[in-house]
Every structure is written in C-alpha cells, then in structure tokens.
Chains A and B, each alone.
Chain A
Amino acid sequence: MMAAATLGSWPGGFAWAFARDFRLAWRSPGETVLVIAFFVLVASLFPLGVGADMRLLERIGPGVIWVCALLAAFLSLPTMFSSDYGDGSLEQMALSSHPMVGWVSGKIAAHWIMTGLPLTVLSPLLALQYGLEADTLLVLAAALAIGTPVLSLLGAACSALTLGARGGGMLLALLALPLFVPILIFGAGAAEAQAAGLSPSPHLSLLGAALIVAGMGLPSAVSLAIRIALD
C-alpha cells in the first residue's frame, strides 16, 4: 500500500486535469453534444430567416458563424468549474502538490478540445451553406482555430470569477461577452478580408498574439479567481 511520492509539476498537473476532464466528458457527453448541436442548429437557421440571397449570405457568413461559435462556447462556460466546486473536488485540487496553473491549463485545454475544436472542424461544412469560397473557408477555420482557445481562456476566467455568485448565467454573460468582442472582430474580420481580396494576416496575427498573451497570463488569473472563490 506504499505510494511513491513524486514532485508536483506543471506538466503533471496539466496531464492530470486534462485526462480526468476528458474522461468525465466522455462518460457524460450530453453537454458537449448540446454545444455542438446548438452551433449547427443556429448557424443553419440564419439562412432560413434571412432568405436565400447567396450574395447576402456570403457577406454575412463569417460573422454569423463566428457569433454562433461564440454563443455555443458561452453555453459551456457555466459548468466549467461549478461541478468541481459543488462536490468539493475544487478544494482538493487547490491543495494539490501540482502548481495550480498546471491543472487549470489542463482543464481549459480539455474544455477547448470539447467545444472549440469541434466547432472549428465543423465550420467549413456550415460555411458551405453561406456559399463561401474555399479560401475564405480555410481562413475562417484558421481564425476559429486560433480564436476559440482564447474564448476558452477568457471564459474560464469569467466562470471562475462567478462561482457562488448570485445572478448565475446572466452575470456570466455580462462579463464574458464584452471580453469576447475583440476576438469576434478580428476573427470574423480575417475571413471577411480574405473574401474581399485583402490579406487576412494582420487579423490572424492579432489573434495569434491574443492567444499567446492570454495563454501566458490567464491561467494565473483563473488560479487567483479560484483561490478567491474558495476563500
């Protein structure tokens, strides 16, 4: 029954959280399916509401798909930490010998794999409904691939800040959606630029920069938010 003790480490924490959250989502996939279904459904509803004018659809396509991705990502935020907070796992995790930023990053990465990544992969298929050209499709998918992890990072911060707060989902929306706006602007802007014949690289570079800054800074912010929530 002797257990060998190993030093806590960032990769150790990351792997722990990533594997556990992935396993939990696999066992109970309802929420992941809901997020993906919502994305597909709403993105497919727009043409029905707006009319079959392909030129109009082509113009609004990137923006609409981005907004749908945003809303779908938002749907998955309230439960990011609440289940662990509710059953006492979060405090055990806060007492881990692994550094907090490690397992926080692991959780966020798992969250992205189950929300942002499926949305990114499905986006070209949905974009076909809007008559987007192949090159625009690719830029849109690339923008989503870079932007959705930032949404997961920002969303994690907002989710951790609102643990145990009154106002639930509405408060979370008020906090998260304004922070999402720059990502939306640059993400949709990249695809729109490509469609207009301009280069999307400024937009994609800005998104990339946002991802780097967010990836380096936000896990610490999320850790602090969790400590505040457990205090």
Chain B
Amino acid sequence: MNWFYLSSPSTFYRFAGWLTPWFFALAALLTAAGLYYGFIVAPTDAQQGEVYRVIFIHVPAAWMSMFLYFVMAAYAAASLTFNTRLAAMMARAVAPTGALFTFVALWTGAFWGRPTWGTYWAWDARMTSELVLLFLYFGFIALANAFDDPRRGDRAAALLALIGLVNLPIIYFSVHWWNTLHQGSTVKLTGTSMHVAMLTAMLLMVFAFWMYAIGAALTRVRSIILERERRTRWVRAL
C-alpha cells in the first residue's frame, strides 16, 4: 500500500471515516467480553473481596495512558522529522484520549485505594508519575492551542511531547526502584502469578480500550482535518 497516498488529508479523511465504526464496534464487543470475565468469571480475591475487580478498568487504563503517550510522541517525532501535516494532526487527536485514560486510571486507583489501603490517595512514585503524566497531556493540549498559527502550535507541542517522554521510563521502572504501596508488577511477559480468568479479563479490557482509543482518535482527526483544510476545494464540496 502506498503510504504517502494515505498521508494526504483528503484521502485519509475518507479512509478514517470508513474504518472508525469497525473500531468502535470491536471496542464494544471486547468491553462486553472483558467485563464478563472480570466481573462474573474471575473468582473473588481472598484478601480484597469484590472491590478488587476495579483493577480490570484501572490497570488497562493505566497501561493505555502510557501507551498512548508513546503513540503521541511517535507522531510528534514523525511530524518534526518529515514535516507532514497529518502526523501532527494525529498527535493532537490522540492527546485528549490519553488524558482521559490517565484520569480514569487515577480515579479508579483512588476508588480501589480506599478500601484496600484506607486512603484515597497515596503519594507513591507510580501514582505520582501518573498524575504528572496527566499534566503532561494537559500541557501538550494547552501548548498546541496557545498560538494563532496552528502549525506553530503543532511543532512546539511535538517538541514538548518528546521532552516529556523522559518521564515514561521513570514511571515504568519506579515500581522496581521504590518500596511502595503498589503491588509489584504481577503481569510479566514470561509468566504470571494471576489467575487465568483475571489475566484474560485484563487483556480483553486492554484491547477494548485500544480499539476505543483508535476509534476516538480517528474521529477526532477527521474533525481536525476539516477545520484545517476548510478552505480547500474538497472540503467545500462536502
């Protein structure tokens, strides 16, 4: 497939429009499956009771919040290197969804924290870094919109995203460096100490969120394309 053909906003607009409903449909299906596994199939935890089930939303949301930052930073790097308009628009499209998942992770984390540790908020490295990540997303969105010239906003925010990228390894490795309230990472790539049903539920939810994120980003980029290209012929013909 000729990727450069796809990188023209008008072509991508149509392509994205065709794809989006499929992603949302997949997201809905996977969410249903994931919640079924998480809330019905998976057994009750010996120590934490039913409340623990919120991790099926909390952990996937946290993973997605970090993954989407990487995606945003990748588009940012592409937009600065190749100076393409579409890459910058995709970075802007991903940011609000990333911020949403970060917020969901923090919120569900607090919800889980209260019954489990007796406090809504604990200032350990991971939660703190997640909060910082939320502000990094806000900063990106704010900077991108702080200029009259949208291209200038694109480029400044892209550079900011790359600088903030340093924060992500700190989040990821903080669990190993610090003695914190968070349980040590229990889902490793080589083996897991979790019950199979719990793992299935978690992975289903991760994919569900991923499909939703793609759908949301594609929807958002279509409206950004319309706004940016509003004076061109093909948009006026719509």
Pick from B136, B156, B170: contact of A225, CB under 8 Å: B156
Contact B166 A175 (CB under 8 A): no
- Residues on B with beta carbons closer than 8 Å to the beta carbon of A174: 135, 138-139, 142
Q: When A221-B163, A228-B152 are in contact, do A178 and B132 touch as well, CB less than 8 Å?
A: yes
B16 at interface, CB cutoff 8 A: no
B44 to chain A, nearest CB (A): 36
Contact B146 A167 (CB under 8 A): yes
Encode B154-191 as 1/0 by CB contact (under 8 A) with A: 01100110111011001000000100000000000000
Task: Give the complex CA separation of A177 and B1 in angstroms.
Answer: 44
B92 to chain A, nearest CB (A): 16
Pick from A154, A157, A171: contact of B146, CB under 8 Å: A171
A24 at interface, CB cutoff 8 A: no
The interface of chain A, by Cβ under 8 A from chain B, is 154, 157-158, 161-162, 164-167, 171, 174-175, 177-179, 181-182, 185, 202, 213, 218, 221, 224-225, 228-229, 231
Contact B146 A162 (CB under 8 A): yes
- Residues on A with beta carbons closer than 8 Å to the beta carbon of B80: 224
Q: When A185-B128, A224-B159, A231-B152 are in contact, do A177 and B146 touch as well, CB less than 8 Å?
A: no
Pick from B125, B132, B142, B162: contact of A221, CB under 8 Å: B162
The interface of chain B, by Cβ under 8 A from chain A, is 80, 125, 128, 132, 135-136, 138-139, 142-143, 146-147, 152, 155-156, 159-160, 162-164, 166-167, 170, 177
Contact A175 B139 (CB under 8 A): yes
Contact A225 B159 (CB under 8 A): yes
- Residues on A with beta carbons closer than 8 Å to the beta carbon of B128: 181, 185
Task: Give the complex CA separation of A147 and B135 in angstroms.
Answer: 21
- Residues on A with beta carbons closer than 8 Å to the beta carbon of B177: 202
- Residues on B with beta carbons closer than 8 Å to the beta carbon of A228: 152, 155-156, 159
Contact B147 A164 (CB under 8 A): yes
Task: Give the complex CA separation of A174 and B147 in angstroms.
Answer: 16
- Residues on B with beta carbons closer than 8 Å to the beta carbon of A175: 139, 142-143, 160
Task: Give the complex CA separation of A67 and B37 in angstroms.
Answer: 46
Contact B143 A182 (CB under 8 A): no
- Residues on B with beta carbons closer than 8 Å to the beta carbon of A177: 135
B200 to chain A, nearest CB (A): 35
Task: Give the complex CA separation of A178 and B143 in angstroms.
Answer: 14
- Residues on A with beta carbons closer than 8 Å to the beta carbon of B159: 157, 161, 221, 224-225, 228
Interface centre among B147, B156, B170 (most CB of A within 10 A): B156
Task: Give the complex CA separation of A157 and B138 in angstroms.
Answer: 17
Which 4 A-B residue pairings sit nearest by Cβ, starting from the closest? A165-B146, A178-B135, A175-B139, A178-B132
Contact B132 A181 (CB under 8 A): yes
Contact B156 A213 (CB under 8 A): no
